[in-house]
Amino acid sequence: MQTVSKDTVVYTMSAKNKPVLHADPGTQITFETWDALHGQLKSPDSGFDSLDWDRVNPATGPVYIVGAEPGDVLSVKIESIKVADSGVVVAGKGMGVMGNNLEGVATKIMHIKGDTAKFSEKIHIPLNKMIGVIGVAPKEDEIPCGAPDHHGGNMDCKEIKEGATLLLPVNVPGALLAMGDLHAIMADGEIGITGLEVAGEVVVTVDVIKGKALPTPMITNDEYIMTLASDEDLDVAVDMAVANMVDYLTHNEGFTKHDAVMLISLIADVRICQVVDPKKTIRVEFPRKFL
């Protein structure tokens, strides 16, 4: 197994980033990751005003996947996610959906023991470990790690978790895979702008699917096929994610467009991943048992 140290981070996803590792298809890779705030908040009294925003949302990598070429699909199977024994959650003025209704900033350090994290003496929350930032280099522009787009990035989708496989479009030779921003706990929406932000380690197996281009990322697991799409306008993101699911069902499963639309309307859920990044992210979940 190869390991990517958390000392090798990028703050944008770009074809200009120099790979820190080359990996063959079928390789298992461990990514060590910082939390989304790069370890800057260590206690409830940490000065949020002094936060260095240039160091927010670091992603570890990138890794060059040998043989991945534009027009291919990069398959990233998430084997395991290990999180630190504590994490941070923040709410404050100007942050997230309720930012205009808050004054000042509150920071809470939540300690993790076993499969739960302690919010208060009475509230212990089960973990749902997931990867907030994961993606490849986009075709042209440099995109900040804090933003989602067709290349992946900060999608904050809670289904990018252990046992899932993320499918990403390859835009540049080697794909240049990077990831970070782990959450020990996060609900759909991430309305306060943070989940339970944690450092940790992710073990993935990478592979290349030749000649199967994707317009935007997809997720597969034992239960669902999921399409993901991001846009500043939530309605546009919904339209994109649904259209991509229709396209998948017609081109890969043999359904007519009419049947695909009817089936999505009957059995596929449209869900919001996050509404706090520059672009909002939507996923459509189609049950595999009907395929």
The distance from CA 211 to its chain's CA centroid, rounded to whole angstroms, is: 24
d(CA 277, CA 261): 29
Cβ 127 vs Cβ 178: under 8 Å = no
On the question of a cis peptide bond just before residue 70, with omega within 30 degrees of 0, the verdict is no
Question: Which of these ranges, 48-62, 148-162, 189-203, has the smallest mean pLDDT?
Answer: 48-62
Tell me the pLDDT band of 213, cut-offs 50, 70 and 90: confident
Cβ 226 vs Cβ 282: under 8 Å = no
Domain residue spans in the chain?
A: 2-290
- Confidence check: pLDDT of 92 > 70: yes
* Mean per-residue pLDDT over the chain, rounded: 95
Cβ 135 vs Cβ 152: under 8 Å = yes
- Confidence check: pLDDT of 48 > 70: no
Cβ contacts of 218 within 8 Å, gap of 6 or more? 166, 167, 225, 226, 227, 228, 244, 248
CATH fold, domain 2-290, is Jelly Rolls (2.60.120)
Q: Which residues does residue 287 pair with via DSSP β-bridges, in sequence order? A: 224
In 3-state terms, what secondary structure has residue 167?
strand
- Confidence check: pLDDT of 46 > 80: no
Listed residue (8, 256, 290, 13) closest to 150, CA to CA? 13
Listed residue (109, 135, 100, 113) closest to 43, CA to CA? 109
Number of neighbours of residue 83 by Cβ within 10 angstroms:
22
The torsion of the CA quartet 200, 108, 234, 178, rounded to 10 degrees, works out to: -20
Listed residue (176, 126, 183) closest to 156, CA to CA? 183
Average pLDDT over residues 240-263: 97
Q: Tell me the CB-side half-sphere exposure of residue 217, using CA atoms within 13 A.
A: 34
- Confidence check: pLDDT of 111 > 80: yes
Average pLDDT over residues 49-76: 90
Average pLDDT over residues 66-82: 97
